[in-house]
């Protein structure tokens, strides 16, 4: 039985942005290493942005903190209007290592390039690896904004504990992100043309033969300018509901961002794209009737102004954008339910949308276009609705 779902995807504008103050001492130390040019115009500011009320009727606002970096750097010459979601090697990457004592050494910026790994590295044999994904955006005044890097740092630490790996502290993680973004600032797309995708990576780089944790770990950060994740751009995306393959099971690693989770979805995703679908919507592996998530994002269902999303119980990745939407919506007075959501509820939904940083979402800046649901040979169409808000 074939099931498919057309979903709308939010615009790529910026959303609620949070970050903590930048360590000037860290930047000075790296300048002395000649990795970054000294620039007296570099300023680090904290500002409060308010998220405008939802069109559905709320009048209150939620305030969120953002860090902005100003630096006189020319933007690299690219065809920004046709920027897709593919790797474009940039100038620098960040690296630091951790030995068996669990303490990470002082990191450094290096020219972007290949890594040297032992053939018996733990990540190559036993999949001991985690990654994160977040973005930096350029404002019209040239400043650069990061989207909630502390949340990614915390999620990596939770994932590292599950995978029996040491992890950078939140401060180490955030400093590494900022240094990498500043070193590659000329690659941040102009306002409205995309974003700088940031990929932190934690791997078991030490040599191991038997099944055991690696004796050494490497933390890396690299970046790439990106546009829309899906080829459809801002048009609705077409999902197929998968009931044969499953992304994760109870007691497994579906709730953390480990590398193996993504390898397991490749077959279903490849099959879906060969048949003209954008991505796959997975069901739970026990009852095979409750929504879990899409390969690269979380899913929400709206009915009678009640927002519902599958609860996080170890098989679903707790997305940062998902959390942001829930926090802001509740702060605006909306009812948000985290609970089992059956696939049948898609038939009766007023609106359906999905969220995820890779696909270019923004916090509560969702344009819910017409979507058509094919399920059990029935067909529904819903009118275009805007459910939105953005940092002012």
**Is residue 139 among the annotated active site residues?**
no
Catalytic residue among 185, 193, 257, 362: 257
Q: 237-242 and 279-283 as β-strands: parallel, antiparallel, unpaired? A: parallel
Q: 336-338 and 306-309 as β-strands: parallel, antiparallel, unpaired? A: parallel
CA distance 92 to 96: 14
Cα–Cα nearest to 195, from 364, 308, 31, 357: 357
Largest Cα separation within the chain, whole Å, is: 66
Where is 45: in which H helix or E strand? strand 43-51
DSSP 155-207: HHHHHHHHTT-----HHHHHHHHHHHHHHTGGGSPPTTS-EEEEEEEEEE-SB
The CB density around residue 224, as the number of other CB atoms within 10 Å, is 18
Coil, helix or strand for 272?
helix
In contact, 28 and 61? CB cutoff 8 Å: no
Taking the mean position of all CA atoms in its chain, how far away is CA 242?
22
The CB density around residue 32, as the number of other CB atoms within 10 Å, is 10
Residue partners of 226: CB distance under 8 A and separation at least 6 = 83, 84, 85, 86, 194, 195, 196, 197, 360
- Retrieve residue 238's tokens: 């077409």
CA distance 29 to 45: 20
Taking the mean position of all CA atoms in its chain, how far away is CA 243?
25
Q: Which residue has the tokens 């590295």?
A: 121
Q: Which residues pair with 126 in a beta bridge?
A: none
Question: How far is the CA of 126 from the CAs of 18, 162, 210, 212, in angstroms?
Answer: 35, 14, 9, 8
Give the residue numbers annotated as catalytic, written as ranges. Answer: 257
């Amino acid at each position: 039985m074939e099931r498919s779902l057309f979903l709308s995807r939010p615009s790529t504008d910026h959303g609620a942005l949070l970050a903590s103050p930048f360590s000037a001492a860290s930047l000075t130390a790296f300048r002395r290493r000649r990795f970054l040019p000294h620039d007296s115009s570099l300023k680090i500011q904290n500002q409060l942005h308010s998220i405008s009320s939802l069109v559905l009727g709320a009048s209150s606002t939620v305030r969120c903190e953002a860090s902005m970096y100003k630096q006189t750097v020319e933007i690299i010459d690219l065809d920004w209007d046709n920027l897709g979601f593919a790797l474009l090697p940039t100038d620098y990457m960040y690296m630091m290592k951790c030995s068996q004592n669990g303490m990470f050494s002082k990191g450094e910026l290096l020219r972007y390039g290949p890594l040297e790994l032992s053939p018996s590295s733990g990540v190559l044999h036993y999949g001991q690896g985690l990654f994160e994904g977040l973005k930096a955006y350029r404002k019209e005044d040239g400043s650069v904004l990061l989207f909630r890097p502390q949340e990614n740092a915390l999620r990596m630490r939770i994932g590292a504990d599950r995978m029996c790996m040491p992890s950078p502290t939140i401060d180490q993680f955030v400093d590494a992100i900022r240094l990498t973004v500043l070193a590659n600032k000329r690659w941040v797309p102009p306002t409205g043309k995309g974003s700088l995708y940031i990929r932190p990576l934690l791997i078991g780089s030490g040599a191991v033969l038997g099944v055991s944790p690696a004796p050494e770990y490497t933390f890396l950060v690299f970046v790439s300018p990106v546009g829309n994740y899906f080829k459809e751009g801002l048009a609705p995306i077409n999902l197929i509901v998968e009931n044969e393959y499953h992304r994760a099971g109870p007691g497994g690693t579906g709730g953390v961002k480990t590398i193996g989770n993504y390898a397991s979805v490749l077959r279903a995703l490849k099959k879906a794209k060969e048949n003209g679908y954008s991505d796959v919507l997975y069901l739970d592996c026990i009852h095979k009737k409750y929504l879990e998530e899409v390969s690269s994002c979380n899913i929400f269902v709206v009915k009678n102004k009640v927002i519902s999303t599958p609860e996080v119980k170890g098989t679903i990745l707790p997305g940062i954008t998902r959390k942001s939407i829930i926090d802001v919506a509740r702060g605006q007075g909306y009812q948000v339910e985290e609970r089992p959501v059956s696939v049948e509820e898609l038939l009766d939904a007023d609106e359906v949308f999905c969220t995820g940083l890779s696909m270019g979402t923004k916090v509560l800046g969702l344009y819910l276009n017409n979507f058509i649901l094919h399920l059990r040979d029935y067909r529904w169409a819903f009118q275009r609705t805007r459910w939105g808000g953005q940092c002012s």
